[in-house]
Amino acid sequence: MADNDIKNLIASYHNPPNKLRSLQEINARYKLTLENYKKICLTSGDVRDQKIATHAEIKILGWVLGKPDKDVIKDIAENSNRVVFPPQ
């Protein structure tokens, strides 16, 4: 490694490019992604790839927030255009 590379590496540890986000920021992103998912579900055309990517992002954000998988799936279902049947 060159001296310049080592200096850049040390500087990156002092100023990380991807700082950790607060729970409030993650929760806001979770809600925003749910809204985006709802818009995607109401869109006509071939949006399968977008739907899959957004679904995965919601699942990951829910996991980071510590939400049970059941609650995340419920949130996704409520924000899709599918019919949600009440539990029996």
Q: Which of 85, 41, 37, 40 is nearest to 61 (CA)?
A: 37
Identify the domain containing residue 48 by its residue range.
22-88
Residue 50 has pLDDT above 80, yes or no: yes
Domain tally, the chain:
1
Domain assignment present for residue 26? The answer is yes
Average of per-residue pLDDT values in the chain: 83
Domain assignment present for residue 71? The answer is yes
Section 46-72 average pLDDT = 91
Whole-number percent of the chain with pLDDT over 70: 75
Q: Which of 51, 20, 46, 56 is nearest to 36 (CA)?
A: 51
d(CA 31, CA 10) in angstroms, rounded, equals 36
Section 35-53 average pLDDT = 88
Domain assignment present for residue 11? The answer is no
Residue 88 has pLDDT above 80, yes or no: no
Torsion of CA 30, 31, 37, 39, to 10 degrees: -150
Section 38-50 average pLDDT = 87
Q: Between residues 57 and 86, which one has the greater pLDDT? A: 57
Domain assignment present for residue 15? The answer is no
